[in-house]
Homo-oligomer: A and B are copies of this chain.
Amino acid sequence: MRLPCRRPLQLANIFPLARARKADNQRCTNGNHAIAGANVGTDEQLSRFRQSIDNIDAALIYMLAERFRITQAVGEFKAANALPAADPGREERQITRLRTLAAEANLDPEFSEKFLRFVIDEVIRHHERIKNEG
């Protein structure tokens, strides 16, 4: 009698890191099924990781789109109220805050600062484009 493979995938379905750590335990040892199972398991596992990455990327894109909607409104608001376009103190406070949040989230604080500057550079490009078109 050939027993079906029992795979401890419940937690692993929810937590990608848990899945990765369980990957070595997901080998079945009963004949042909073992080989096919190992191959399918690897492809399926990679596919699950990628599904999570794709979901997060979609969330990031929509969040960034909303952020640029707001910074565009800020640009228009500042222009309408004769407020200065730049505020170096604000940028410094943003960097300090994001570095703290990054450390809490176990993300490299250097990367969080690079990321904010990358986004702010794009905001400046947007504002310059609006100024040149206006």
Which A residues lie at the B interface, using CB under 8 A? 16-17, 19-20, 23-24, 42, 45-46, 49-50, 52-54, 56-71, 73-74, 76-78, 80-81, 83, 90, 94, 97-98, 101-102, 105-107, 111-112, 115-116, 118, 122
Contact = CB atoms under 8 A, between A and B. Distances in A.
Q: What is the total number of copies of this protein in its complex?
A: 2
B17 A97 contact: no
A63 to B, nearest CB: 5
24 contacts: A16-B69, A16-B73, A17-B69, A19-B73, A23-B77, A23-B80, A46-B78, A49-B77, A50-B90, A52-B70, A53-B71, A57-B67, A57-B97, A58-B98, A59-B63, A60-B64, A60-B67, A61-B105, A62-B105, A63-B63, A65-B102, A65-B106, A65-B107, A66-B105
